[in-house]
Amino acid sequence: MATAIVNSSNSLVGALLPKQGVAHWAGFFMLALAGSIVLWVSAKTSVPFFPVPMTLQTLAILVIAATYGFRLGLAAVLLYMVEGMMGLPVFSSTPERGIGLAYMAGPTAGYLVGFVVATGLVGWFAERGADKSPLKLFVVMLGGAALILGLGFAYLSNFIGMEAAFGAGVVPFVLGDLFKVAIAALLVPAAAKLISR
């Protein structure tokens, strides 16, 4: 029964886990930890883009969700949040804009919640076959990216108002997110084909 709680065998990466016992739990934890480290690195990686430089965090969220699936993907993202809560500088603007719970309750809290919700959405659909089709995955990932921006915008509005939040927290990131969604939607099915061979 306990193993069923963390069974991610329908996901691309989860299928590689041992099915039960200590090896299953150890593998599950190590994959979750690896995912949280990828998120940490992606948050600190900035790529020149128009109209603003972009981090690779949304790309990492989408790829982890699609390859890890619902449970393992959420475990990785929640572990990442716990690392941030403990004061580790895992987020894109840390430690410059604060760390720990103080940062997490700040203006970007909606985006952090969006990471969790988007991971659940994309992971759930990926486990049900969306990870095999670039077009289906693009649509699902677009929904995930929209959730991140939407929740981020909604919370940011409390701090700076709706118009300013839309101009500063949504518009500059739309083009970059479309680009990242397209890359992720092509990358994951290609990786699935390679692994299945």
All domains in the chain, ordered by first residue: 20-196 (1.10.1760.20)
**Helix 57-85, helix 134-160: angle, nearest 10:** 50
Evaluated on CA atoms 169, 52, 121, 85, the torsion sign reads negative
Tens digit of pLDDT at every position of the chain (197 positions): 344 444 455 787 777 777 788 888 898 999 999 999 999 999 999 888 887 888 999 999 999 999 999 999 999 999 999 999 999 999 988 888 889 999 999 999 999 999 999 999 999 999 999 988 999 999 999 999 999 999 999 999 999 999 999 999 999 999 999 999 999 999 999 887 777 66
- Rounded to an integer, what distance in angstroms lies between the CA atom of residue 179 and that of residue 141? 11
Written as six digits, the tokens of 28 are 């599950």
- Check residue 95 and report its DSSP letter: T
pTM of the model: 0.90
